[in-house]
């Protein structure tokens, strides 16, 4: 009887090994994706009533020499204002914008520092001088340094940018005034610095410049500084400060826009 059990165990051994390998492969495949979602809300009542919502989604996929990134951000703000004609209070949007960024990196050598990239970006801001802005770029990048606690990634390359100016007349938005588009050839440079301060706190600094070749064309500069604190394994508290700068804007609009946000980040 014991010999029969031993023979059966030997026959099942290869299958158990294949199952373990399959399980390990499935685990590796699942871990190739990193997804995080963030949400922040602020509601005020009393003398002033307002509501703000900040949301974001980040997806990262790594496989072999490939690294794929997708980031989505949205912001909506409403403020209670009194109608000058009726005298009634109603909520009016004071900010409404969203953007999406996608990038793919391909490492030139296995485990190496150099990579080539492709990048695409789209932004829509209801209260800016642009109906929407979009850009695309390809080029070369490098992991300038990477340790257990810090890293610096930077890349640069040529690209194109297309801005659609909002239809504005002397009296404000006028349907009779057509939106105009403006394209430009650019050089895009971006960098991301990450520092793990301790087991619970992480600092990030991101910067991107989209420099137009022609001096009369709009160039774009963006910066985001963030500090993330781990609350539990999958939940984090994030403070971020963002600056957007356009060199050429329509009259009545500011060149610089800033955004300060506090959100909770959940990692899958």
pLDDT 10s digits, 53-71: 999 999 999 998 999 999 9
Structure tokens at 136: 């695309």
Q: Give the Cα separation of 136 and 132 in Å (integer).
A: 14
Asked if pLDDT for residue 98 goes beyond 60, the answer is: yes
Tokens of residue 221, six digits: 């500069």
Query: Residue 235 forms beta bridges with which residues?
Result: 266
Cα distances (angstroms) measured from residue 109 to each of 56, 113, 141: 32, 8, 13
Q: Is the pTM of this model over 0.85?
A: no
Residues 241 and 259: beta-carbon distance below 8 Å:
yes
Instruction: Compute the chain's Rg from CA coordinates.
Output: 25
When pLDDT is averaged across residues 204-210 and rounded to a whole number, the result is 97
Instruction: Tell me the mean pLDDT in the region 104-133.
Output: 93
Q: What is the pLDDT of residue 252?
A: 84
Domains of the chain: 33-267 (2.40.160.40)
Report the distance separating Cα 239 and Cα 189, nearest Å: 25
Report d(CA 41, CA 262) in Å as an integer: 8
**pLDDT, greater one: 17 or 115:** 115
H or E stretch at 74: strand 66-82
**Overall average pLDDT of the 15-29 stretch:** 43
Give yes or no for residue 136 having a pLDDT over 70: yes
For the chain, give the number of residues: 268
H-type helices in the chain, by residue range?
A: 2-31
Q: Write out pLDDT tens, residues 218-267.
A: 999 999 999 999 999 899 999 999 999 999 988 888 899 999 899 999 99
């Amino acid at each position: 009887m014991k010999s029969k059990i031993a023979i059966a165990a030997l026959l099942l051994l290869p299958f158990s090994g294949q199952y373990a390998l399959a399980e390990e492969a499935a685990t590796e495949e699942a871990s190739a994706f990193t997804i995080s979602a963030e949400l922040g809300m602020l509601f005020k009542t009393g003398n002033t009533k307002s509501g703000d919502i900040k949301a974001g989604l980040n997806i990262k996929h790594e496989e072999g020499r490939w690294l794929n990134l997708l980031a989505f951000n949205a912001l909506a703000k409403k403020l209670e204002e009194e109608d000058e004609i009726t005298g009634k209070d109603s909520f009016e949007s004071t900010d409404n914008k969203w953007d999406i960024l996608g990038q793919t990196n391909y490492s030139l050598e296995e485990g190496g520092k150099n990579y080539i990239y492709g990048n695409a970006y789209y932004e829509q801001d209801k209260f800016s001088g642009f109906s929407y802005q979009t850009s695309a770029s390809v080029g070369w990048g490098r992991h300038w340094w990477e340790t257990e606690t810090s890293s610096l990634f930077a890349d640069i390359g040529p690209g194109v940018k297309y801005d659609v100016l909002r239809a504005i007349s002397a009296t404000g938005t006028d349907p009779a005034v057509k939106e105009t588009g403006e394209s430009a050839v650019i050089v895009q440079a971006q960098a991301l610095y990450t520092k793990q301060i301790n087991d619970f706190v992480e600092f990030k600094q991101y910067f991107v410049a989209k420099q137009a070749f022609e001096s009369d064309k709009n160039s774009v500069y963006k910066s985001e500084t963030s500090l993330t604190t781990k609350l539990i394994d999958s939940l984090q508290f994030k403070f971020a400060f963002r600056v957007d700068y356009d060199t050429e804007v329509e009259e009545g609009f500011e060149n610089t826009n800033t955004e300060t946000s506090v959100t909770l980040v959940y990692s899958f």
